[in-house]
């Protein structure tokens, strides 16, 4: 059993709730932002919604928060229909993309604000605010004002404020997108740690696939108001349900091939298909860069997978090698030590690991990056 599944089960025992969205639709004029979305969040689970701009992920979150009204569909939390309950009575903690701390209040007052509205006694309120600030590691900053904090600190306070009211559901609307890369990675891990510690059902909206894959129990990839796939990060990456998911999450090489009997033949390599019911005929195989390996040398019988290295991109532990095959280019992702053995200009022979692949039926052959 995966660690995520274990944590979700533990959380379920700590009064975490199930969230169910059924047939949820939302239009803005002629634009369909959300098209009959069905999504269920298991108790204590962190689901990340991922997708390009305008795919409907933020709309989903705002409908769940009650900040907008659905045109159709139903939202239930712990079995209770909250579709028409106003935002102020939904009992959901939310962290926004923009810094949303109240500028006229100190950090402590910000965190205690929700409790104050619930008429919690001052002593309890203060104790709870301190606990929450300790949880996010900011108890030292309790008497500061938001403008005296960094962006990362402000978002941590916003998280503490959202959790202080002990909400049933935590909603995170791209909370890391305004932060620099290092703070972003730190805070991302911190959010996950806190979410597991508190055991709260969480919906996390992001356009950053790395973020989504790193912290979610399940990732939902959205497109044009619909959910293309909802699965564990591993499955979304290695077993994408559609060509869009394959191309959006991670990188994919689009290589022309021919489908026949559940196998696609690409430049002489037979690759099994994920969807064995794909009809026979020409298609584009979507091959991950890490499924491509390189060997130096230029055999006498130069095959269709022999080419010239035209670029080497250093990414730290791994490097990306771009190989020109004459009629197309192909990306390979290798350990940096292996990649540096093939400098730009060197001739190489490629091997494609026979992992199951998806095929797309449109577009020209090219090596491209997911959006």
Partner 1 sequence: MAALAPVGEVVREPSARRAAGVSARRRRRLNAFRYLVFTVFGLFFALPLLAMARFSLEGAKLGTWSVTAWSQIASYQGTQAVGIPPLISSIEITLELAVITCAVIVLLLVPTMIWIRLRVRWLSRTFEFLCLLPLTIPAIVLVVGLGPIYNRIQRVSLSALMLFWVYVILALPYAYRALAAGLGGLDVTTLAEAARSLGARWLTVIVRVIVPNMWQAIINALLLTSALVLGEFTIAYLLLYNNLQVELYSISRNTPNAGVLFATSTAALAFAFALLLILSYVGRRRRRSRG
Can residue 114 be called a binding residue for partner 1 (CB under 8 A)?
Answer: yes
Q: Return the residue of 3, 29, 79, 103 that touches partner 1, per CB under 8 A.
A: 103
* Contacts to partner 1 from residues 230-249, by CB under 8 A: none
Which residue of 144, 226, 239, 347 would you call a contact of partner 1, by CB under 8 A?
Answer: 144
CB of residue 141 to partner 1, shortest distance in Å: 12
Strand partners, 40: 20
What are the helix (H) ranges across 165-281? 181-198, 209-215, 233-238, 243-248
Q: Which residue number, 101 or 236, has a Cβ lying nearer to partner 1?
A: 101
For 340, which DSSP code?
A: T
Q: Would you count residue 121 as binding partner 1 (CB under 8 A)?
A: no
Report the residue number, 69 or 210, with the smaller CB distance to partner 1: 69
Give just the sign of the alpha carbon dihedral 285, 38, 234, 208. Answer: positive
Alpha helices in 216-295 (DSSP H): 233-238, 243-248
Distance CA 151, CA 345 (A): 44
Round to whole Å and give the CA distance between 184 and 119.
34
# residues contacting partner 1 (CB under 8 A): 33
Residue with tokens 């404020």, as numbered in its chain: 161
Is residue 124 at the binding interface for partner 1, with CB under 8 A as the rule? no
> Which residues of 29-183 form beta strands (DSSP E)?
31-41, 46-50, 72-77, 80-81, 92-95, 169-173
Closest CB to partner 1 among residues 27, 36: 27
* N-term to C-term CA, the chain: 32
In the complex with partner 1, which residue's Cβ is closer, 101 or 331? 101
- In whole angstroms, the minimum distance from the beta carbon of 113 to partner 1 comes to 6
Q: Site residues for partner 1, window 157-176 (CB under 8 A)?
A: 158, 161-162, 165, 171
Comparing CA positions, the residue from 351, 341, 345, 339 lying closest to residue 308 is 345
Closer to partner 1 by Cβ: residue 109 or 195: 109
Q: Considering the complex, what minimum distance in angstroms separates the CB of residue 24 from partner 1?
A: 19
Q: Which is nearer to partner 1, 121 or 317 (CB)?
A: 121
Q: Tokens 């402590």 correspond to what residue?
A: 108
Contacting partner 1 (CB under 8 A), which of 22, 35, 126, 145? 145
Query: Considering the complex, what minimum distance in angstroms separates the CB of residue 96 from partner 1?
Result: 6
Which region among 145-153, 179-187, 314-322, 353-361 touches partner 1 (by CB under 8 A)? 145-153
- Tokens 């997911």 belong to residue: 370
**148 interacts with partner 1 by CB under 8 A:** yes
Q: Which of residues 56-95 bind partner 1 (CB under 8 A)?
A: 65-67, 86-94
Closest approach, Cβ 90 to partner 1, in A, equals: 8
Residue closer to partner 1 (CB basis): 88 or 277: 88
Report the residue number, 80 or 118, with the smaller CB distance to partner 1.
118
Contact stretch for partner 1 (CB under 8 A) within 113-121, 176-184, 212-220, 287-295: 113-121
CA–CA distance from 303 to each of 85, 264, 267, 326, 351 (Å)?
65, 18, 8, 11, 11
* Interacting residues of 277 by C-beta distance below 8 A, sequence separation 6+: none
Q: Indicate whether 182 belongs to the interface with partner 1 (CB under 8 A).
A: no
List of residues 6+ apart from 249 with CB closer than 8 A:
50, 209, 213, 219, 221, 236, 237, 240, 370
Least Å distance between CB 177 and partner 1?
14
- What's the min distance (Å) between Cβ of 102 and partner 1? 6
The DSSP-derived string for 139-161 is GGGTTS-GGGS-HHHHHHHHHHH
CB of 105 to partner 1, least distance (A): 8
CA 50/CA 203 separation, integer angstroms: 11
Using CB under 8 A as the criterion, which residues of the chain lie in contact with partner 1 when the complex forms? 65-67, 86-94, 96, 98-104, 113-114, 117-118, 144-145, 147-148, 158, 161-162, 165, 171
């Amino acid at each position: 059993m995966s660690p995520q599944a274990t944590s979700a089960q533990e959380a379920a025992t700590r009064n975490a709730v199930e969230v169910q969205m059924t047939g949820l639709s939302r239009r803005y004029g002629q634009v369909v932002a959300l098209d009959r979305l069905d999504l269920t969040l298991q108790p204590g689970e962190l689901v990340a919604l991922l997708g390009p701009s305008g795919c409907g992920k933020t709309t989903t979150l705002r409908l769940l928060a009650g900040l907008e009204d659905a045109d159709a569909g139903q939202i239930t939390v712990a079995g209770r229909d909250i579709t028409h309950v106003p935002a102020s009575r939904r009992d959901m903690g939310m962290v926004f993309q923009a810094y949303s701390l109240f500028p006229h209040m100190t950090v402590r007052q910000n965190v205690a604000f929700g409790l104050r509205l619930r008429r919690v006694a001052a002593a309890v309120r203060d104790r709870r605010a301190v606990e929450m600030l300790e949880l996010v590691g900011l108890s030292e900053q309790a008497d500061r004002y938001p403008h005296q904090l960094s962006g990362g600190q402000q978002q941590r306070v916003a998280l503490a404020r959202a959790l202080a009211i002990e909400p049933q559901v935590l909603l995170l609307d791209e909370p890391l997108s305004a932060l620099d890369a290092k703070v972003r990675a730190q805070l991302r891990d911190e959010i996950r740690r806190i979410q597991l510690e508190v055991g709260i059902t969480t919906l996390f909206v992001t356009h950053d696939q790395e973020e989504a894959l790193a912290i979610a129990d399940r990732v939902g990839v959205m497109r044009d108001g619909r959910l293309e796939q909802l699965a564990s990060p591993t499955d979304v990456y290695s077993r994408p349900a559609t060509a869009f998911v394959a191309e959006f999450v991670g990188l994919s090489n689009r290589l022309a091939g021919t489908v026949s009997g559940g196998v696609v033949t690409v430049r002489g390599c037979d690759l099994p298909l994920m969807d064995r019911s794909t009809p026979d005929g020409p298609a584009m195989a979507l091959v991950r860069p890490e499924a491509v390996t390189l060997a130096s040398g230029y055999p006498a019988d130069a095959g269709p997978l022999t080419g010239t290295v035209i670029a080497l991109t250093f990414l730290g532990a791994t490097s990306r090698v771009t190989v020109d095959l004459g009629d197309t280019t192909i990306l390979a992702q290798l350990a940096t030590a292996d990649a540096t053995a093939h400098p730009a200009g060197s001739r190489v022979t490629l091997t494609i690991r026979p992992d199951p692949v998806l095929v797309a039926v449109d577009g020209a052959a090219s090596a491209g990056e997911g959006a």
